[in-house]
């Protein structure tokens, strides 16, 4: 199911992308989204598939004399979403070609994306225990691998009471405010107008 764009900015030309395979079917997503409705959100009025661009990074973490190497995927729209961790880079068999207009463009430039990634990895290391960290070094470099992650979007209520829910169709989990803000900003953007104040994504990140 493809979304009928809600704004001129969202109504871009269809593009061909390479996406991870979804682990949630349209019917499964519909059932899960309908269960999210209720007195607060209202009933589900529309659903759509959408895709976010991700970039792959090779990351080496050295801590207490030990080294760990991992591959992480980071979103290329804001760089604020949770990282994807891979044992190996997504291969051709792991990806499908999709033609869609529901794919926000990458916006984070390379230096900032790398900085955000390293910050996330550093935070994850410290969360394992501050006193277990000594001589921490993080070295990350981008790989020439870009892909999209599929989502199912659900729209509830209407007017000022309309809300959006986003399900990660690979992890089979509902996303939080940061992902919802990315899709909301994308849908509500109007070309040729400069936004006043912070976007929804910026507001959520500052909280």
Q: How buried is residue 35: exposed, middle or buried, by Cβ count under 10 Å (0-12/13-18/19+)?
A: exposed
The mean pLDDT of 17-24, rounded to a whole number, is 97
CA dihedral 150, 7, 179, 86 (to 10 degrees): 30
Dihedral over Cα of 17, 57, 181, 179: its sign: positive
Dihedral over Cα of 177, 189, 40, 167: its sign: negative
Q: What percent of the chain has pLDDT over 90?
A: 65
Give me the chain's average pLDDT, please.
85
Q: How confident is the model at residue 54 (pLDDT cuts 50, 70, 90)?
A: very high
For the chain, the structural domain boundaries read: 15-206
- Residue given tokens 């430039």 in the structure block: 109
Residue 100 has pLDDT above 90, yes or no: yes
What is the pTM (predicted TM-score) of this model?
A: 0.83
Distance, in Å, from the CA atom of 85 to the CA atom of 148, rounded to the nearest integer, reads 14
């Amino acid at each position: 199911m493809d979304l009928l764009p809600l704004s001129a900015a969202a109504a871009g030309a269809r593009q061909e992308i390479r996406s991870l395979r979804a682990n949630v079917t349209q019917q499964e997503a519909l059932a899960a989204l309908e269960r999210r409705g209720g007195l607060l959100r209202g009933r589900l009025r529309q659903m759509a598939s959408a895709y976010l661009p991700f970039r792959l990074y090779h990351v080496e973490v050295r801590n207490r004399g030990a080294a760990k190497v991992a591959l992480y995927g980071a979103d290329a729209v804001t760089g604020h979403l949770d990282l994807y961790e891979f044992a190996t880079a997504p291969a051709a068999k792991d990806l499908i070609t999709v033609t869609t207009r529901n794919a926000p463009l990458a916006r984070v430039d390379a230096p900032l994306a790398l900085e955000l990634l390293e910050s996330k990895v550093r935070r994850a290391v410290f969360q394992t225990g501050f006193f277990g960290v000594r001589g921490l070094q993080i070295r990350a470099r981008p790989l020439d691998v870009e892909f999209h992650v599929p989502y199912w979007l659900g729209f509830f209520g209407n007017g000022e009471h309309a809300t959006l829910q986003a399900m990660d169709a690979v992890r089979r989990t509902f996303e939080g405010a940061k992902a919802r803000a990315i899709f909301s900003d994308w849908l509500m953007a109007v070309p040729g107008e400069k936004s006043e104040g912070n976007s929804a994504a910026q507001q959520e990140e500052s909280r």
